[in-house]
């Protein structure tokens, strides 16, 4: 396995034809496990608004909360690249605010890159953040911070004009200097076309197998979050069931007096 993953290394992985693996992480213990398992990118996603904070969308999580969780994740990382999601309203108001807030993720959160949603509309913002030395991951397609404009979590880019718009978004993100781009919730043939046209790697979520890499929300793939399971999620474990069984055994043993045993007691 390669040494410390960096933003330039992620670009080189595409050139070498190596698939990129990314998972979300929100705290120290998870970050340590995922990093040790060998994942290339730890994304401190604003999905934490849903899976950690219990909100219905990603919109309510604040910049300070995101920076706090980024710091926890960074402490658990040795090899993976830590990318922090810029939350709603932290980069859309002005380029000055976007630069300052992106910088806080590096100086206070120990992130190594930030992620920004949006294509053509975010071109200048991405350029400005990159120009001050901060690697940017783009994010286009079904961008959750625009959920009210889309009218729900609907696959984007099915119609011809939408397809063309998404291709233009991808090209704008690459031209702005991003080192990679997330493609979310788009048909796999469109993701394939974008992956072939871009020199930066595409990281797919609900965008099919042709992307240069994949990302999933860790709570979804481990079966820790069952409020809803999108079609693109594969459950690699059922940790909810494992935890429920363990907690029920603990409750039973405490109630019947078989825990703590002699081996857990001091003499
Ligand atoms: O917030 C998040 O977890 C994300 C990924 C799903 C791409 O943006």
C-alpha 166/C-alpha 181 separation (Å) is 12
Active-site option among 184, 245, 256, 263: 184
The closest residue, in CA terms, to atom 8 on ligand 1 is 45
pLDDT band with cut points at 50, 70 and 90 for residue 229: confident
Q: Which atom of ligand 1 is nearest to the CA of 45?
A: 1
Per-residue pLDDT at 146 exceeds 80: yes
CA of 88 to the centre of ligand 1 (A): 13
CA of 96 to the centre of ligand 1 (A): 24
Residues with CB under 6 A from ligand 1: 24, 43, 45-47, 85, 182, 184, 205, 215, 217
Question: Residues 60-82: pLDDT tens digits?
Answer: 999 999 999 999 999 999 999 99
CATH 3.20.20.60 segments of the chain: 7-236
User: Does CATH place domain 7-236 in 2.40.30.60?
Assistant: no
Instruction: Determine if residue 200 is left, alpha or beta; phi over 0 gives left, psi from -120 to 50 gives alpha, anything else beta.
Output: beta
Model's pTM, two decimal places? 0.97
For this structure, is 184 an active site residue?
yes
C-alpha 193/C-alpha 208 separation (Å) is 12
């Amino acid at each position: 396995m390669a040494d410390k993953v960096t933003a330039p290394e992620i670009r080189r992985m595409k050139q070498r034809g190596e698939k990129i693996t990314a998972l979300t992480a929100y705290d120290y213990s998870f970050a340590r496990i995922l990093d040790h398992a060998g994942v290339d990118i730890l994304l401190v996603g604003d999905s934490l608004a849903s899976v950690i904070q219990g909100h219905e969308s990603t919109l309510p999580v604040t910049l300070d909360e995101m920076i706090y969780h980024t710091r926890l994740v960074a402490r658990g990382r040795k090899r993976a690249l830590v990318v922090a999601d810029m939350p709603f309203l932290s980069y859309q108001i002005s380029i000055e605010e976007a630069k300052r807030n992106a910088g806080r993720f590096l100086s206070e959160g120990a992130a190594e890159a930030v992620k920004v949603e949006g294509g053509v509309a975010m071109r200048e913002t991405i350029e400005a953040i990159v120009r001050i030395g901060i690697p940017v991951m783009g994010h286009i397609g079904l961008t959750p911070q625009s959920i009210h404009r889309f009218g729900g979590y609907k696959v984007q880019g099915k119609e011809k004009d939408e397809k063309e718009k998404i291709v233009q978004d991808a090209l704008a993100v690459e031209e702005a200097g991003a080192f990679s781009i997330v493609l979310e919730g788009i048909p796999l043939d469109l993701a394939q076309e974008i992956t072939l046209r871009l020199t930066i790697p595409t990281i797919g979520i609900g965008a099919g197998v042709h992307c240069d890499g994949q990302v999933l929300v860790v709570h979804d793939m481990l079966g820790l979050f069952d409020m809803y399971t999108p079609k693109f999620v594969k459950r690699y474990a059922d940790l909810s069931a494992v935890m429920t069984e363990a907690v029920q055994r603990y409750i039973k043993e405490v109630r019947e007096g078989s825990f703590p045993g002699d081996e857990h007691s001091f003499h």
